[in-house]
Amino acid sequence: MSGSAVLDPTLPSGPPGRERPRRRASVSSDATLECMGSIVAALALVFVVFSISGQLALSNAFGIAICWFGAFALVYGVVSRTRHGIERAKDRLATVFIWTGSLIAMLPLIFIIGWLLFKGLSVVLAGFPHFLLSDSSKAGPSDPVSKAGVGAAIVGSLEQVGIATLVAAPLSILTATYLNESKSALSRVVRLVVDAMTGTPEIIAGLFVYLLWVQPRHTNGQSGVAASMALGIMMLPFVTRGAQEVLKTVPGSLREAGLALGAPQWRLTLRVVLPTAKVALLTVTILGVARAVGETAAVYFTAGGSATQKFNWNPFHGIQLDLPLYVVQFAKVSSPTEVREAWGGALVLVFMVLLLFTVTRVISKGNRGKRRRHLVLPAWRRGAAAKSGQ
């Protein structure tokens, strides 16, 4: 068998003489009953203890929950060890702690998204799709939200982030390629600068562009392209570091094969290294776009969009609104209607970020599936496949 091969599930899953541990694909009914019984037993135990001590009150809900979880882990561990042994008990307790930690980490995100939907969904759907296509230049503080619109802010965000991506993404990938392929003294200096820029607050990028570009031009300095400069400065180190880590995953055997065939370094990089990692590089770039689209401090000093609500299709001239500035502008006012508009703008902004992350996940998942389908079998599996073919 030569070239690519499709993995056959009937073939051995590991080298001969070596067993490969496998987890069950589904949870058995006994395990479910043991877990649910442990939960109920722990709840009954905590209820009795807190009732006897007179501390069973709503104000102690957090402490009761902590004690309940501790009692559940103890009871579940004892039950699992008694019925299945110490190894299975450790595995189940580790699973419980991992799932609990994941749920706790997800709670703030779930709360934020749920609250945004509760506050902003009615605004977005009021006269849909008017809110997404129009601006708020003709809507007053006492007008209903159906007259407001976030269209001008969406246009500004797309243009500013788009220009920043067109400039920063190629520079970031070129810089990452240079840092990955070169070991010179200059590359160490560039790597140090990139590391320093990674931890720099975004407001520094905004102030830098403001002092260098906006202030010398006075009223003509604030524009969409000035905001794009600040966003590009922010994206540059983020995408560079991500692309650098991606390029490290390219197998060294590909480089060695290219050099053995006499290919120069620049041709090897352009024809072998970058095409091999192109999907992962695209994923890193999308993550950089998702980070830049929600930044406020960097565009606050450069776009000047909080002074207008009108459409500005030309990012090179005049102040331009974007989604972060739209949210900040209306969140600071005292009018309840305009505050609701801020919630609607925040929901649109979060939806755009989540959409970008979803696209990233789909691309990365498709890349992993493609790599699995084109996986070359190792020698011992090729031998097993040949024997099975006989």
- Give dist(CA 245, CA 234) in Å, integer: 18
140 has pLDDT over 60 = yes
Q: Judge residue 176's burial from the number of C-beta atoms within 10 Å of its C-beta, 0-12 exposed, 13-18 middle, 19 or more buried.
A: buried
Q: pLDDT band at 5, cuts 50/70/90?
A: very low
Residue type, 90: K
**Domain ranges (residues) in the chain:** 29-119, 145-379
- pLDDT at residue 169, as a whole number: 92
Q: Are 369 and 143 in contact (CB under 8 A)?
A: no
354 has pLDDT over 80 = yes
Looking from the CA of 8 toward its CB, the CA atoms found within 13 Å total 14
pLDDT single digits (tens) 99-130? 999 999 999 989 999 999 999 998 898 878 88
Give bridge partners of residue 320 from the DSSP assignment: 304
- Tokens 């309940």 appear where? 68
- pLDDT at residue 10, as a whole number: 45
The b-or-e profile of 222-239 (16+ CB within 10 A means b, else e) is bbbbbbbbbbbbbbbbbb
pTM for this model (two decimals): 0.74
Superfamily of domain 145-379: MetI-like (1.10.3720.10)
Q: Which of 226 and 366 is assigned the larger pLDDT?
A: 226
- Give dist(CA 185, CA 73) in Å, integer: 54
pLDDT single digits (tens) 199-231? 888 888 888 999 998 888 877 788 889 999 999
CA-based nearest residue to 334, from 88, 131, 142: 142
**Mean pLDDT value of segment 143-166:** 89
